[in-house]
Structure 1
Amino acid sequence: MEDEVTSTASSSANHLAVLIHGLWGNPKHLQYLNSALREKHAEDKLHILVAARNSGSFTYDGIELGGERVTQEIEQTLEDLARKGQIITKISITGYSLGGLVARYAIGLLYHKGWFHKLEPVNFTTFATPHLGVRTPLLGFHNHLWNVLGARTLSMSGTQLFMIDKFRDTGKPLLAVLADPDSTFMKALAKFKHRSLYANVVNDRSAVYYTTGISRTDPYVDLKSLKVNYIKGWEPVIIDDTNPVSPVDHTPIPNFHQRLSGGAKTFFSRIPILLFLIIFIPIGSTLFLLNAAVQSVFSRQRIRLHSEGKAGIDVEEYRLPLMVEMARDVRRTAEGIFENLNNTQSQEYLPSGSEELAQPESPLLSPKRKNTLSMTSLPEEKPLLEADDASSENGEPSATVTQGRQMEFPTLALTPHQFASIQALDDVGWKKYPVWIHQARHSHAAIIVRMNRKSFDEGRLVVKHWLTEFEI
């Protein structure tokens, strides 16, 4: 049945739009998406379902279980509408954050159960969804501490998001199975007429650009040294993914005194972060880990009851064949601690000359694509950056411009499963919309206007763009 925040729709509407929230989320997080969609499309044109059965601490229970819950909710909505004489012939799915992964699992279930013979899949959209998980691209054993510990603080969802799980008897992480070209999930995704994603390029403390934008590189690490190109009419928020950045005028390499001054500025700019780590992290981390332990216990109990068929869902009906809740303020505290800890991590890159490590693992995938971006706006006489000298102020590898007028970016230190997932997801095809939200330091929430804040106004522009792309 439809969520209580939506209105009763007219019997003439034949299109169902499903909105799915993220980790720690609830239907209220999608209130702006819901109201904007309703304002654009009247009740006699569109039914709206804001999924509600996988809310709050239930999101700890994993993508699979969440997908089964949402699929059951969709099916019951379709059946309830049919009993009222309201026949649905089209379906669109929109997922926010973890909800995008839950959506990708749910459409696989719908496809497997034959629903796409009755329904035309139209729009599939994700906002700030970590399609490649949330592990920080890092090299070296000591640098994997956060990737190991972080995965164990969110129960089943954590192990799946950090890709350390083995999904059933596949021996692969669930996210790798979701992106397998031969899987039911990818066949279902390919059925949608339109596939699009919106990805924050800065200040997303929950899911950074490489994973939400499905990319081997991050062109937006050093925005001060680049010119950002926007889609005409959507400046200065939605970036043109076909030509996202251009080099600015060549700047001479700073001398010793300039470097020393820059290093001092960098050190002092990091003092607030250091104070946060020294004072707040020990207290906050203790509370976060205690909450994580309690939630993991509750989550394991729910998963066990679910697997035994005692949670209101017939497991056999929703299980694909393969080739007690904490208070709301505690959840918010846990979310904040996780985001702050995650935000202190910095990504690293594959060593120069070892890009073959980025080759897709599956022999079924097409050959590796070069990490290049068109540079049609670069004049012929523009001086070219030398690869050996190209480094940003913060020491990160930066882009280089080659004689072929292509701008190259260093390859992130991802896992073989992640590289294979990028290739498979790119092969199915997406419209990608990088988003630069300037006014809010919490762009993960701002991108869908999760709360009614003035600083989230740029998110309203993102939603407006989504509505122009949403086909009825």
Structure 2
Amino acid sequence: MSYTGGSPKAEHLCVLVHGLWGNPDHMRNIAKGLREKFPPEELYLLLAKRNSGSFTYDGIERGGERVCAEIQEEMRLIEQRGGKITKLSIVGYSLGGLVSRYAVGLLHAKGILDTVECMNFTTFASPHLGVRTPLKGWHNHVWNVLGARTLSMSGRQLFIIDKFRDTGRPLLSVLADPKSIFMSGLRRFKRHSLYTNIVNDRSAVYYTTAIEKTDPYKNIDSLNINFLEGFGDVILDPTNPFGPRRMVPDPASFSSVTKSSIMWLKRIPFMLALAIFVPVGVMAFLLNSVIQTVRSSSRIKLHEDGKAGLDVHEYRVPLWITEMREEVEHVFGALNSSQTQEHLAIGDDDDEDGDEMEEHRARMKRERRMSMPMQPTLALAPCQFEMIDALHSVRWRKYPVWIHKVGHSHAAMIVRMDKPSFSEGYVVLRHFVNDEFLI
């Protein structure tokens, strides 16, 4: 059965947008799940393809322009075949969720959303707040600044150190501005859903994919997890995901100490391999980053000059409205996940000055009052707190996911490839297709 495209009779178009280093095939199992339930006469599926591979380095806005162009072209082709799209849904995975939010703003500004009923906007493991690790002091300048330079323009935007056009602000901050075309377009959808990994997501951790100020799952062994009925031990109950677990300490014994020692000894070969191969992987990753950044810069210039097959002037609309590849990813994920999140603490001072420092201090105090003792507020950037408040205005339906079988939950969540260790991802997709997707 073909899972892409559809019949001219289909009035509902669903667009699937892959993530960083990705390609349309990464969205294959989401599309298959939708097609198994909704026939071609009921749902038309478009897997966006113009941002494949290293093209995702070129920046979120260029990716959004390409996706917007693909949607327009597909709608025109459907009309030429005698069809008419009256409903629109968009599904974004990882970086694709941010690219989709940008494309939605363009579709809104160009009046295309006026012609359709906006149904579902769904993201899987998308870093809505960027991938900046919550760190304080000099750590922030080591990883969050240097790490941003490894992914060309997209890296700077994901680490929120860019200044988008003439706004002087990071692109992600502009994407979440309540008065922007992007938030206006996003608000038009009937349902906003997100799926977020609570553990083992090396590419995009919980706080950013869940749009939250805390990470209650950092010490997951201290929690009693409540799962959604009918979905095994994979999807947590969104209304009551966890409670405290009563811990009963076990008395130390010779056998337990011996077992611990044996486990430590078994880890020695792995640690030695790590010491040998990680530096090699890091060097290869950095070398590839330099090459891809140079290539990306060349593509960006062609794109901006209108020589890449897209008239950029058509997509450079006003931002404001008056109405209110696998191994490379693994290395980057390992580097990113090695950064330990830090929390705000009473008495902490940032390096900000004047009114901005006072405003940030006031926000910190508010966050401390609102946070439960077991959920300290993460040391996010001021603009990230603003993004959270703005994005919460669209009332997301949030589904925490616990992938147990594999340490790369980012890929397993959507079954990015067919392998037994990714099988829990099919539970997530079943929930999305049967319980969440509005037709």
Corresponding letter in the other structure for 2:328: A
> How has the CA–CA distance of structure 1 residues 138 and 13 changed in structure 2, closer, same or farther, with 3 Å as cutoff?
same
Answering whether residue 158 of structure 2 is matched by residue 161 of structure 1, we say: yes
2:82 match: secondary structure: coil
Kept in 2: contact 1:29–1:451 (CA 8 A): yes
Counterpart Cα distance in 1 of 2:291 and 2:118: 39
Counterpart Cα distance in 1 of 2:359 and 2:122: 25
Partner of 2:405: 439
> How has the CA–CA distance of structure 1 residues 191 and 254 changed in structure 2, closer, same or farther, with 3 Å as cutoff?
farther
Decide which of 312, 316, 320 is 1:315's aligned counterpart. Answer: 312
Kept in 1: contact 2:18–2:96 (CA 8 A): yes
Residues 348-387 of structure 1: pairs in structure 2 closer than 5 A = 348-352=342-346, 371-372=370-371
Partner of 1:333: 327
Kept in 2: contact 1:20–1:103 (CA 8 A): yes
Answering whether residue 342 of structure 2 is matched by residue 342 of structure 1, we say: no
Residues 73-84 of structure 1: pairs in structure 2 closer than 5 A = 73-84=70-81
Partner of 1:61: 58
Decide which of 288, 295, 304 is 1:298's aligned counterpart. Answer: 295
- The range that moved more, 8-17 or 183-192, is 8-17
Corresponding letter in the other structure for 2:55: F
Decide which of 372, 378, 381 is 1:415's aligned counterpart. Answer: 381
Shift of 1:264: 7.9
Shift of 1:359: 10
Shift of 1:355: 11
Corresponding letter in the other structure for 2:425: G
Decide which of 186, 189, 202 is 2:186's aligned counterpart. Answer: 189
- The range that moved more, 295-304 or 283-292, is 283-292
> How has the CA–CA distance of structure 1 residues 276 and 217 changed in structure 2, closer, same or farther, with 3 Å as cutoff?
farther
> How has the CA–CA distance of structure 1 residues 42 and 14 changed in structure 2, closer, same or farther, with 3 Å as cutoff?
same
Partner of 1:147: 144
Answering whether residue 130 of structure 2 is matched by residue 133 of structure 1, we say: yes
The alignment covers a number of residue pairs equal to 426
Counterpart Cα distance in 2 of 1:281 and 1:253: 36
Partner of 2:200: 203
> How has the CA–CA distance of structure 1 residues 246 and 282 changed in structure 2, closer, same or farther, with 3 Å as cutoff?
same
Residues 261-280 of structure 1: pairs in structure 2 closer than 5 A = 275=272, 278-280=275-277
Shift of 1:144: 3.5
Q: Which runs of 5+ in 1 are unaligned?
A: 324-330, 374-399, 401-407
Kept in 1: contact 2:4–2:47 (CA 8 A): no
State the Cα RMSD in Å: 3.0
Partner of 1:289: 286
Q: Which runs of 5+ in 2 are unaligned?
A: 351-355
Shift of 1:9: 2.1
Partner of 1:13: 10
> How has the CA–CA distance of structure 1 residues 347 and 267 changed in structure 2, closer, same or farther, with 3 Å as cutoff?
farther
Kept in 2: contact 1:71–1:110 (CA 8 A): yes
> How has the CA–CA distance of structure 1 residues 415 and 272 changed in structure 2, closer, same or farther, with 3 Å as cutoff?
farther
What is the TM-score when the length of structure 2 is the normalising length?
0.90
Counterpart Cα distance in 2 of 1:463 and 1:17: 15
* Post-superposition CA distance 1:281-314 (Å, at most 9, x none): 2211111111110100110011011111111111
Answering whether residue 235 of structure 2 is matched by residue 235 of structure 1, we say: no
Decide which of 445, 448, 453 is 2:414's aligned counterpart. Answer: 448
What is the TM-score when the length of structure 1 is the normalising length?
0.84
Kept in 1: contact 2:367–2:377 (CA 8 A): no
Partner of 1:41: 38
Partner of 1:110: 107
Counterpart Cα distance in 2 of 1:265 and 1:220: 28
> How has the CA–CA distance of structure 1 residues 270 and 67 changed in structure 2, closer, same or farther, with 3 Å as cutoff?
farther
Corresponding letter in the other structure for 2:423: D
Shift of 1:11: 2.3
Larger relative helix fraction: 2
* Post-superposition CA distance 1:415-439 (Å, at most 9, x none): 0011110111112210000000111
Kept in 2: contact 1:360–1:368 (CA 8 A): no
> How has the CA–CA distance of structure 1 residues 273 and 153 changed in structure 2, closer, same or farther, with 3 Å as cutoff?
farther
Shift of 1:119: 0.7
Answering whether residue 425 of structure 2 is matched by residue 467 of structure 1, we say: no
Identity %: 55
Shift of 1:460: 0.1
Counterpart Cα distance in 2 of 1:158 and 1:316: 24
Counterpart Cα distance in 2 of 1:100 and 1:76: 20
Kept in 2: contact 1:165–1:173 (CA 8 A): yes
1:294 match: secondary structure: helix
Partner of 2:390: 424
Partner of 1:93: 90
* Post-superposition CA distance 1:153-204 (Å, at most 9, x none): 1100100011110001111110111011111101111110000000001111
> How has the CA–CA distance of structure 1 residues 247 and 155 changed in structure 2, closer, same or farther, with 3 Å as cutoff?
same
Kept in 1: contact 2:344–2:378 (CA 8 A): yes
Residues 238-253 of structure 1: pairs in structure 2 closer than 5 A = 238-251=235-248
Counterpart Cα distance in 2 of 1:318 and 1:187: 16
Counterpart Cα distance in 2 of 1:293 and 1:148: 16
1:191 match: secondary structure: coil
Shift of 1:56: 0.5
Shift of 1:250: 4.8
- The range that moved more, 141-150 or 8-17, is 141-150
Corresponding letter in the other structure for 1:301: S
Counterpart Cα distance in 2 of 1:268 and 1:319: 59
> How has the CA–CA distance of structure 1 residues 267 and 167 changed in structure 2, closer, same or farther, with 3 Å as cutoff?
farther
Counterpart Cα distance in 2 of 1:217 and 1:265: 35
Counterpart Cα distance in 2 of 1:146 and 1:11: 50
> How has the CA–CA distance of structure 1 residues 289 and 113 changed in structure 2, closer, same or farther, with 3 Å as cutoff?
same
